[in-house]
Each structure stands twice: as C-alpha cells, then as structure tokens.
Amino acid sequence: MSMEKGSSVSITDQPKPAAMSRSEWILLALLIASIFVNYIDRGNLSIAAPLMQKDLHLSPVQIGLLLSGFFWSYAVLQLIGFSGWLSDVLPVGFVLAGGFVIWSLATFSTGLLSSFAALYAARMLLGAGESLAYPCYSRVFASDFAQHHRGRANALLDAGSKLGPAVGSLLGGVLLVTAGWRWFFILLGVVALVWLIPWLKYMPHSYAKRPCHTRPAHILSLLRRRSAWGTFLGHFCGNYFWFFLLTWLPTYLVNERQFSIQRMTVINSAALFITAAGTVTAGFVSDRVIARGAPLGTVRRTVVVSGLICSSVILAVAFLPGTVAAIALLFFSCLAFGAYTSNHWAITQTLAGARMAGRWTSIQNGIGNLSGVAAPLVAGYAVEATGTSKAAFVVSAIIVLVGAVMWGVVVGPISEVDWSPDSR
C-alpha cells in the first residue's frame, strides 16, 4: 500500500474509529424501545378492530375511517414541516418526550371511548404525537452520534419499526382474549409511559441554535425534478402495500378466512417478522454486491423494482380457496416487500446528496404516508360495496406495480442531483 512522501506511518497504523460509547448505546436502546411502542400503538387498532366492530356496531367504512384517521395528522404535520421544525428549535429530548406522552394518552383514552367521533379524534391525536418521532430520531443521530456510528444506529432503529408491529400483534392477541379490547388499549397506554423514566434521565438536550432553512429556489428545483416525483409517488405506492397489511390484514383473516383471534395474531406477526427478515437480508446482500464492484444504481434499482413486482402476488391471497397456499403467498409477498424497503431510501439519499437529503426525505415521507389514509379507506369501501376484500387486494396489487414503474422508469439515473442555479 502506498504512502505519502516523507510519511513513515502506514494507513494500517492509523488509529481505528472508536467503538460506540456507553451513552450512545443507552440512547439507541431507548430510541429502539420508543419505536417499538410507536409502531405497536399505531397498529393496535387493526388488531382490535374485529372485536370493536362487533361491540360498537361499526360499519366497514367506519373502521376504514378510524384506521386512516391516524395518517391525516401524522402525514400532514410532517409534510408541512411543523414536526421537523419543533425538533430543530427546541431541546430534542423534551420534544420526543412530549410526543410520547401525547400518543400514549391517545392510546389510553381509546379504551374509554365508545362514539365514532371520539375514537376518530383519538386516532388523530395519536398521529399528531407520533409525527414528532422520526424528526427527533434524525436530530438525535445527527447531534449525539458519531458519523461512523449512524449507519448501524439507523439500521437497528428500522428493524425495530418492522418488529414492533409483529410483537404487538402477538402480545396484543393475548391481551384481547384475556382482558378485552378496552383493557388492551388502557394497559398499552399506561405501561408505555414507564419508558419516560429512563428517557428523562439519559435523554440528550441538544437543539439547533441556528436552524437551517432551505432556500425556496432549491425547493422549487426539487419539485421540478422528474426523479423527485418518481420517488414521491413510488414511496406512496410502496407504503400503500405496507399500510394495507398493517391496517386490514387482521380483519380479513378473522372475517373472511374465519381465523380465531389467536390464530390471526400468529399469522399477522409471522408476516411482519418475515418482512423484517427480508429487509435485513436484502440490505446485507445488496451492500455486499455493491462492495464487490457492481454498479450502485443498478443494484439499488433492481432490488427495489423486483421487490415491488414480487409483492404483487398478494393478489392471489384473496382468491385462493386453500388456506395453506394463500398464507404461503402472503409470506412470500411480505419477504419481497422487505427487499424493497431495504434499498428505496438509499436511492433517495444518493439523488438528494447532503445538501437536500433532509427536505427531499421530508416531502417524500409526507406524501408516502398519505397512503395510510387511502389504503384502509379503499379497503373499507370495497368490502362494504362487494361483501369481500377481493377488490381491495386487487387495488393493492395494481398500486404496488405502479410503484415499480415509478422507481424503475420515472426515477432517472441514480446519481447526485446538481443543485446549482444553472442546472435544469
């Protein structure tokens, strides 16, 4: 290995990067715990929906509206930048703690309510509280984690977001059977607040003393980019599949496959665990392939597009009469979707570069989460109009294929965009 002239120290003699400190590991463990609770709380209604629908005499459309209510406040507050602004200008530890309290109280109150309007308001409040989570996570990583530690921190946090619904579904099924749906929400809301005890002790107090503001010209330049809209709409389509699984799959398994609550929670949890396994595996394999010299853009795009195309086999789940075959295809579609999620954010980060990664990601995530409004609503209307979920599965398969077109065709060359004023 060559050395600079006059140097007597080789690269191998240079000090290795320091390992993650104890404070970083404590912060990361608490953030992973918070995202577990985050995703359990946003998905708890879908697990309890079959029992709530019967007890409160709710129609399929009303269930769909309740499932989508969370995403209105969650997506809009991120899309307009309010949640990110709070995490920048105020001490981030207190902002995350405040959001955690809001969404935990929303979960708790759901167990006390009976009217559709009150339940809908609670779901909106849940979305408002949880909208603060991801901006705060990014703020903590940027301020309190070394650059060479952020990759593993983000990876572990993302794994938590996939495993949270799986664990929540499994444990939620036990609570629903033993305590009923009202105590299910009450206990989740109360127990979650225990997280605040260690968080208030170890939380960071960092905040941006001079918050950065992106110039309007840069935003207009972003919105004029074909690739930007490819990622925005591609993310919406991919998220549609994810939110369809999270919000409607449990009801489908109970009402149309005639599964018991216990069996539904096992299948639902297994599907989510398989999605997480697909994410980790595809991410590891794609990075290894790129490290061996394969073109970065080709690898990322191939994994994303093929993952979405293979996810569309979920269409067959609603039409196959055999339970074993249907569940096998459900698991395969979840595995494929996990492969997609392993690489799509990497494409966005490459396109945006350091200069615009935050704003591009914010807009993409806001638009992508609007699918959380659409997916349960479309499913609810489809079931009420036809009496089955077949049409809802058809729509989900079509949308996921449109997403493959967005990432494969509309998104242009995967290289950093030129943000200079003279660029087109």
Q: What is the pLDDT of residue 211?
A: 45
CA 284, CA 219: separation in Å to the nearest integer? 33
pLDDT in tens, 325-381: 999 999 999 999 988 987 887 787 678 765 666 667 778 888 888 888 888 888 888
When divided into structural domains, the chain yields a total of 2
How far is CA 202 from each of CA 20, 25, 93, 192, 323, rounded to the nearest angstrom? Answer: 16, 11, 9, 17, 48
Range of the domain at 325: 218-417
The residue with greater pLDDT, 344 or 19, is: 344
Distance of CA 207 to the CA centre of its chain: 25
Name which of 63-72, 135-144, 293-302, 313-322 the model is least confident about. Answer: 135-144
Indicate the residue type of 23: S
Contact of 247 with 67, CB cutoff 8 Å: yes
Phi, psi dihedrals of residue 145, rounded to the nearest 5°: -120, 135
Which helix H or strand E contains 185, and what residues bound it? helix 150-192
Same-domain pairing of 191 and 233:
no
Say if 423 falls within a structural domain. Answer: no
Last residue of a domain, one of 179, 209, 239: 209
Are 180 and 222 within one domain? no
Residue 291 above 90 pLDDT? Answer: no
Q: Under the phi-then-psi rule, with left for phi > 0, alpha for psi from -120 to 50, and beta for the rest, what region is 259?
A: beta
What are the two backbone dihedrals, phi and then psi, of residue 350, each rounded to the nearest 5 degrees? -70, -45
Q: How far is CA 1 from CA 4, 188, 364, in A?
A: 10, 57, 43
DSSP state of 414: S
* Residue 63: count of CB within 10 angstroms of its CB: 27
pLDDT of residue 151 exceeding 90: no
pLDDT of residue 228: 92
Instruction: Tell me, yes or no, whether 299 and 387 share the same domain.
Output: yes
Confidence band (pLDDT; 50, 70, 90) for 207? low
Q: Are residues 350 and 411 in the same domain?
A: yes
- 111: DSSP letter: T
pTM over 0.85: no
Count other C-beta atoms under 10 Å from residue 117's C-beta: 8
Give mean pLDDT, residues 284-301: 83
Q: Kindly state whether residues 334 and 362 are assigned to the same domain.
A: yes
Tell me if 68 is assigned to some domain: yes
- Tell me: do 202 and 276 sit in the same domain: no
Per-residue pLDDT, 319: 92
pLDDT digits (tens, 9 = 90+) for 86-103: 876 788 899 899 999 999
Q: Are residues 66 and 26 in the same domain?
A: yes
Give the residue from 170, 187, 209 where a domain finishes. Answer: 209
- Please tell me which residue, 368 or 421, carries the higher pLDDT value: 368
pLDDT tops 60 at residue 5: no
Q: Say how many C-beta atoms besides its own lie within 10 A of residue 170's C-beta.
A: 18
46 with 169, same domain: the answer is yes
Asked if 191 and 253 sit in the same domain, the reply is: no
> Of 209, 243, 270, at which residue does a domain stop?
209
259 and 407 inside one domain: yes
Q: Are residues 81 and 201 in the same domain?
A: yes
In contact, 69 and 127? CB cutoff 8 Å: yes
Is 187 inside any structural domain? yes
> Could you tell me which of 346, 369, 371, 349 has the C-alpha nearest to residue 358?
349
* Position 306 pLDDT exceeds 90: yes
Question: Which of 167, 53, 143, 49 shows the shortest CA–CA distance to 95?
Answer: 143
Same domain assignment for residues 143 and 250: no
